[in-house]
Chain A
Amino acid sequence: MKTKTMAATLGALALTVAACGGDGEGSSGNDDRGPIKVWLSNNPEEIAWGEAMVKAWNDEHPDEEIEAQEIPAGQSSEEVIGAAITAGNAPCLVFNTSPAAVPQFQKQGGLVALDAFDGGADYVEERSGEVAEQYQSPDGQYYQIPWKANPVMIFYNKDLMKKAGVDPEDPPLATYDEFLATSRKIVDSGTAQAAIWPAPTSEFFQSWFDFYPLYAAETGGTQLVEDDQATFESEEGQAVADFWATMYEDGLAQQEVYNGDSFADGKAAMSIVGPWAIAVYGESVDWGAVPVPTSQGTPAEETYTFSDAKNIALYSACENQGTAYDVLEFATSEEQDGALLEMTGQMPMREDLAGTYPEYFAEHPEYEAFADQASRTVEVPNVPNSIEIWQAFRDAYSSSVIFAEEPVDDALGGAAGEVTDLAGQG
């Protein structure tokens, strides 16, 4: 009897689960129009821009209204979006799609190729220029439109530099040797606990804010993976890793996490940040910004860095994809890009920003260096297993560079093999 009861229970469970499962219907055609939902990131400036953009659209399109909300809280946006794709309740557009997560979302069947819309691919390339190529998926289609970048630079505290005996207007930070010497002055003088304090934790994305910007600069714009091959097992990769290893070994960067904002709290004299930092620290810190260092001191106008971009993608759960695509074009128009720049200080990924928005940069000259830097950025590679690749790299980096538990060249070599394997699994 027990067996029968159990079998009946399991049968009922199976039926319940089947009934609750997906209905097997995919997204509707891409011409459908009507109300749509979009998710915005949860930083206040961006929400203000999003709300203004939504109002502008809704005023002109009463039958195709946008309902906007902040991206639901979660450990990271990528996890929240991934879960929404699986559940089939992703919104039509997410204005905070990380390029690193796009290959995974694409594999899940969660994204709509923008090429599927009339003139979609041309629009992406026309708005973004050459940089669009970095966002093209291995199948040759665009599943995201480049939207905004936060090209990272070295932000420094002038007061602390001065206190450490370093010229605050022109601190020697261009070469590795200069950077190390300046860092030693800062720490040895007791001015700050660390010269710079990148997060020494193991999350896959942390390398975007220590190794990768310097690697992009050292190589003149090489991605971590190119042609399905890891690129960092090279002289340049070794040089960057050795530089950071020296920073940690000499106590110029800390192995321990700072619970707070080390730059704001004066515990570190420098930080690797995007232009968002101007709004955050601008009032409280007398700051300066320089490009990330290279071994030979690349001129600022030739230095590459990591883009820290967020893009817009159209999700397959969307019913009114025609409207969603129109909103995507509306939100990335020159006018809305200008509003984004004005309201958030983040750089739309368009060519010749300074020439397109001269009034803004005349009023805000402090953003000019970042705008110039935005034209030389490197994105994360758009390859399968992107996040696994970054995790594999981070593990090797932590082990060798941060904690010195294995030789740097061994770690980079091992990680390169693993990364190449993962990239080739597409």
Chain B
Amino acid sequence: MSTLQAPPEAPPPSRAARPSKAAPSWVASLVGRHPVGIVLAAPYAVFLALVFAWPLCLAVWISFHDYFFAAPGVEVERPFVGLDNYRTVLSDPDVRESLVNVGVFLVINVPLTVVLALVLATALNGAIRGRTFLRVAYYVPYVAASVALVAVWLFLFSSDGMVNQILGPLAPDPSWLVNSTLAMPVIALFVTWKQLGFFILLYLAALQNVPKELYESASTDGASRFRSFLHVTVPGVRPATLLVVILATITGANLFTEPYLLTNGGGPNGASTSPVLLMYQRGIEQGNPDTAAAIGVILVILVLVISLVNRRLLERD
């Protein structure tokens, strides 16, 4: 009697065993196997270098010097000052407050964006009446100008605005946008609402890649719609969630227009001043681009750290 035995598993082909390709010429090594690729990529690479890389390098350089804007041809000294600008910035209570402000913003905005965008995208992915209209409706605020939308929110949240008229005696005093506790949350809600359409779109795209069989299996196993959402949808769109979190963090850290317009330059009493708004005040209004650059560099580092932490947390599972 013989027994069937599985054939021994073939070892993976070693690097040496792979079929060798023709040695690339020096041209191919410079421009790759498809030279047209570099032609297509070059304009954007140049754009990226000029508009992002160069200013970033310059900002880092400025942040280590006693720098101010001068007329061409005017000889001015811009000595290296080491970490002086960073010391100035980190000991500035306004900067610390602005970082706390943007922290409050992110704590409200990012989770709210993820939850609302995912739930609404899931709903809009189903067979519901008026689906196209609703998808467009959520997307309109994203493409509309902030200035116009801010006017609507001012109408809603000013002291004699519609919200307070509905709330009556329950309206906060001082009112929403001049209340140092409420101003930043109102801005966070505004930005969440404004950007929701874009993030819904990302999730809608991601939902198309979740295998339908998983939902069918879950249904066969008796899972409720909520459990199905929790155990199939949420893990299925994890890469999109990572993207949403990182994008929301980056756009939140760059907050400028909304506090500038909604609370008139970061009021009340600086309670909604964002680091970017402070950079504008320090660098452009007050003529201190060196400290403004230091704020910018610190902000970039913080955003990178937050993004890395988010990535680790979201990819861990």
Interface residues in chain A, defined as those with a beta carbon under 8 Å from any beta carbon in chain B: 1, 5, 9, 13, 17, 21-27, 76, 78-79, 82, 85-88, 90, 104, 107-110, 199-204, 254-257, 259, 316-317, 385, 387-388, 391, 395, 398-399, 402-403, 405
Contact = CB atoms under 8 A, between A and B. Distances in A.
Contact-residue bracket for chain B: 35 or more
Given A256-B158, A398-B270, A109 B76 contact: yes
A388 B74 contact: no
Contacts of A387: 285-287
Interface string B280-299: 01001111100000000000
Contacts of B61: none
B49 interface: yes
Contacts of A405: 180, 269
Nearest to B285: A387
A54 to B, nearest CB: 25
Contacts of B267: 200-202, 257, 398
Most A-side CB within 10 Å, residue of B50, B174, B178: B178
A72 to B, nearest CB: 15
Given A109-B71, A200-B267, A399-B270, 19 more contacts: A13-B54, A21-B72, A24-B72, A82-B69, A86-B70, A108-B68, A108-B69, A108-B287, A199-B264, A204-B286, A255-B174, A257-B264, A317-B71, A385-B286, A387-B287, A388-B286, A391-B285, A395-B94, A403-B178
B291 to A, nearest CB: 10
A79 B73 contact: no
Given A17-B54, A204-B285, A255 B178 contact: yes
Interface in B175-192: 175, 177-178, 180
B310 to A, nearest CB: 28
B49 A9 contact: yes
Contacts of B268: 200, 255, 398, 402-403
Q: Main secondary structure on chain B at its contact with chain A?
A: loop
B175 A256 contact: yes
9 contacts: A1-B29, A5-B30, A9-B49, A22-B73, A85-B69, A107-B70, A202-B265, A255-B178, A385-B286
A395 B71 contact: no
Contacts of A399: 269-270
A79 B74 contact: no
A86 B288 CA distance: 13
B159 interface: yes
A201 B260 CA distance: 11
B36 to A, nearest CB: 17
B275 interface: no
> What are the 8 A-B residue pairs with the smallest beta carbon separation, nearest first?
A22-B72, A109-B74, A88-B72, A26-B73, A201-B264, A86-B69, A109-B71, A403-B269
Contact of A402 (B94, B265, B269, B287): B269
Interface string B140-169: 000000000000001000110000000000
Interface string B46-71: 00011000100000000000001111
